Each structure stands twice: as structure tokens, then as C-alpha cells.
Amino acid sequence: MVKRKTRVLADNPTYAGLTPRPLTPACHDGSHMLDVQCSACGNIDHLHESMLARIPKNAIIGCRCQTCHYVNEIEAKELRRGFAEMRKRGWIA
């Protein structure tokens, strides 16, 4: 059995202390996104909420780092939880 590394949803320090306000989707597909930090090299990429619509709830998503090409595995339910938390805090509508 392969043990997966635990992923942690963390606050973006850029927004520390700011009052939550809805962020405008700023990426090419127009959907909201979460930053994903590579566990191998520390590079930060992002995943779009729009891609979750096509992924089963119990899926494991392989996120290939744009810098070192390491594949970080993240559970789809954790990403959904991240978007739900951003909505709860008022960062996205």
C-alpha cells in the first residue's frame, strides 16, 4: 500500500489581514482557482474550479508541477472543500 502525503489547505499570506471581498476570476477559463504548492520544489501553480465538474467526487487528481514536473496528488474532495471554504469566508461568490 502506498501512503499518500497529507495536503494542507493554507491561507495565502498575500491576503492576510484583508477584509474578504469577492475576487474576480482572473484566469483564462473564467473560473475561480486555488493555488497548489509543489511538495517537491515549492513552485506554486493553480487548479480551476471548472475542472471539478467533470471529476468524480472520490478521485485523486495528479497535479503536474510546471517547474519540476513532479506529480502532486490531491483528493478532489479536498479541492471542493477549499472552494467551499473560500465561499464561506466571502472570497468567492
Answer whether residue 86 shows pLDDT above 60. yes
- Kindly list the domain boundaries of the chain, sorted by start residue: 28-88
Q: Helix or strand or coil: residue 66? A: coil
Residue-wise pLDDT tens digits, 31-70: 888 888 999 999 988 888 988 888 998 999 998 999 999 9
Q: Which residues contact 3 (CB under 8 A, 6 or more apart)?
A: none
Mean pLDDT across the chain, nearest whole number? 84
Predicted confidence band of residue 25 (pLDDT cuts 50, 70, 90): low
Share of the chain above pLDDT 70, in %: 87
